[in-house]
Amino acid sequence: MVLDGLELLAVELRPLVVGVRGVELELEPRRGPLLLAGGEPIAYLTGLQDFWSLSLEVNTSTLIPRPETELLVETSLELIDLQDARVLDLGTGTGAVALALAKERPGWEVLAVDVVLEAVALAERNRCRHGLDNVSVMESNWFAGLAGRRFDLIVSNPPYIEPDDPHLLQGDVRFEPRSALVAKNRGFSALETIASGASAYLKAGGWLLLEHGFDQAKTVRALLRASGFVEVASRRDNQGHERVSHGRKPG
């Protein structure tokens, strides 16, 4: 039998996949080449994805962590000059951002929340995988389960793609959960919810950082200003796109 390039890649992946301890990653022998031929992301096939300095378990209940999201981590570390900050990661998914921050700042107390129970379980496994005791993971629909809590920093990579965006039919996003990708109101509904609600959960002087689409920065900055934030600005990713916008609560 002659194997094409995708089948060869599937064969090469097998020893890497089967040998990972503590994660159910084995591919059914006859499905590996077919999955690759169908375009399923390698991260879903292997069950692992690198982010920051971490190797994370991934599955189809969450987005695959992307390099551009590391800008949330970089900007947080730059803006927050505290040894014992309290941090909230909204819509944590795999826990990527929360765990990266916790690893870089052992004195920070990080809370990672998600509304999807499978994502909560996945983030908790990743927390245990890296032994990060300064992270807690819990279920919450944005701020719903956080009454009375205050944070120095809130970060989020929420859904921000329009429901009819043609890019949803291309590449890896075809296989990722729509609930983690798509938002109503031209992609802004989750961003609006977070921007308008964050101030009540931030300490005076605290920061809100939001990842968004490459063409959404101007609107997100307007949302932050309308919600009372100051020092509003956007940061560019490695592709030159304005990818993260942030603002500070006065005080």
Question: pLDDT tens-digit profile of 143-175?
Answer: 999 999 999 999 999 998 888 777 777 777 788
Residues 20 and 84 in one domain: no
Q: Is residue 57 part of a domain?
A: no
Average pLDDT over residues 2-7: 43
Q: Is residue 48 part of a domain?
A: no
| Per-residue pLDDT at 70 exceeds 50 | yes
Residues 19 and 80 in one domain: no
Residues 116 and 215 in one domain: yes
Residues 118 and 155 in one domain: yes
| Per-residue pLDDT at 21 exceeds 70 | no
Output helix, strand, coil percentages for the chain, rounded to the nearest 5.
Answer: 40, 20, 40
Q: Is residue 52 part of a domain?
A: no
pLDDT score at 17: 43
pLDDT score at 142: 98
Angle, helices 189-197/217-226, rounded to nearest 10 degrees:
30
Q: Collapsing DSSP states into helix, strand and coil, what is residue 248?
A: strand
Where residue 32 falls among pLDDT bands split at 50, 70, 90? very low
Residues 29 and 113 in one domain: no
pLDDT score at 171: 73
Query: Would you list the DSSP string of 204-247?
Result: EEEEEEEE--TT-HHHHHHHHHHTT-EEEEEEE-TTS-EEEEEE
pLDDT score at 33: 46
Least confident window among 78-92, 175-189, 230-244: 175-189
Residues 10 and 95 in one domain: no
Q: Which residues pair with 244 in a beta bridge?
A: 211, 235
How many alpha carbons lie under 13 Å from residue 21 in its C-beta half-sphere?
A: 1
Average pLDDT over residues 184-195: 96
Residue type, 192: E
Q: Collapsing DSSP states into helix, strand and coil, what is residue 153?
A: strand
pLDDT score at 38: 63
Average pLDDT over residues 168-190: 84
Pairing relation of β-strands 242-248 and 202-211?
antiparallel
Residues 17 and 100 in one domain: no
Residues 30 and 141 in one domain: no
- Tokens, residue 98: 């929360």
- Alpha-carbon distance 109 to 5, whole Å? 46
| Per-residue pLDDT at 73 exceeds 80 | yes
Residues 111 and 25 in one domain: no
- Tokens, residue 39: 């375009």
pLDDT score at 40: 84
Residues 83 and 33 in one domain: no
pLDDT score at 22: 39
- Alpha-carbon distance 232 to 230, whole Å? 5
CATH number of domain containing 224:
3.40.50.150
Q: Is residue 206 part of a domain?
A: yes
- Tokens, residue 208: 């809100």
- Mean pLDDT (the chain, rounded): 87
Residues 221 and 116 in one domain: yes
Number of domains present in the structure of the chain: 2
pTM (predicted TM-score): 0.85
Residues written for the chain: 251
Q: Is residue 49 part of a domain?
A: no
Domain that holds residue 14: 5-38
Least confident window among 185-189, 193-197, 227-231: 185-189
Where residue 30 falls among pLDDT bands split at 50, 70, 90? very low
CB atoms within 10 A of CB 28: 8
